[in-house]
Each structure stands twice: as structure tokens, then as C-alpha cells.
Amino acid sequence: MDIDSLLKRKQDLYTLLKSQHEAEVNEMNHYMSVLSRLNNGIIKNYVHKLLDDGLRHIEYISTMMTTIEGASSSLNLTKQGIIKSIDEEKESRDLLLKCVALADDVETKSLLKSIIVDEEHHIKILEHIEELVSKPG
């Protein structure tokens, strides 16, 4: 196979993978939007499974696309990118704190507080990743 046809095949593969990536993201958004309206525990578990699988599929497809692009996966872990993620997590936490202050019922406050705990955990994880990326070698 000559170089032109090889490059064309890679480009075609990349284009199809990108379409599938977008489809997976759209599916996940749909599942997340219906999840809150589900009352049946079995169906909720199934939708959680679909979300878990979708996230895994997105990770696999992203890795394949990155390989085709020839980029290093560590490029995505730039210090600037991690700091941006930390800032976004802090913004989410702060927004949720405002939501807690406005919420009236105990169940809503409790759920929001549990999400805030998760956001704090995400901040700590990202700060640790930042340390690891900043260290030489």
C-alpha cells in the first residue's frame, strides 16, 4: 500500500472515530438528562451502566484519535490545563455552596453538600496531579 492511500485510510478512520466520539458524548448527555426523572431502581442501574460504558468508549476512542494525530497523551496534562481544571472545580464548588444557601428542603441541601464533598475531592486529586506533572522525570 502506498503512502497516500495509507494516509487516506488514517484520515478516514480519524473522521469516523471523531463522529463516533461525538455520538457517544451525545448519548451520555441524553442518559444524564433522563436519569433524574427515573424512579425505577433497575432502570436507573441500567442507565448508570450505559453511562459507565459510554465514558469508557469515549476514553478508548480518544486514545485512538490521539495515536492517529501522533500526539503524546501527556500533552493533555499541561500545568496550565490542570490549573484551569482546578479553577473550574472550585467554581463548581462555589456555585453549589450558593445553591445550598438557597435550597429549602433538607434532602436537596444534603445532596448538594455531598456533591460539594466530591468537588473538594476532585480539587485535591487535580492538585496532586499538578504536583506529579510538575516533578521532573
Listed by start position, the domains of the chain span: 1-73, 77-137
- Residue 76 has a pLDDT of 53
- Residue 38 has a pLDDT of 94
Asked whether the predicted pLDDT for residue 63 surpasses 70, the reply is yes
Mean pLDDT of 111-118: 93
Q: What is the mean pLDDT of the chain?
A: 88
Q: Residue 89: pLDDT band by 50, 70, 90 thresholds?
A: very high
DSSP 70: T
Q: What is the pTM of this model?
A: 0.62
Mean pLDDT of 14-19: 90
Distance CA 91, CA 111 (A): 18
Q: Could you say which architecture CATH assigns to the domain 77-137? A: Up-down Bundle (1.20)
Dihedral over alpha carbons 50, 55, 57, 59 (to 10 degrees): -170
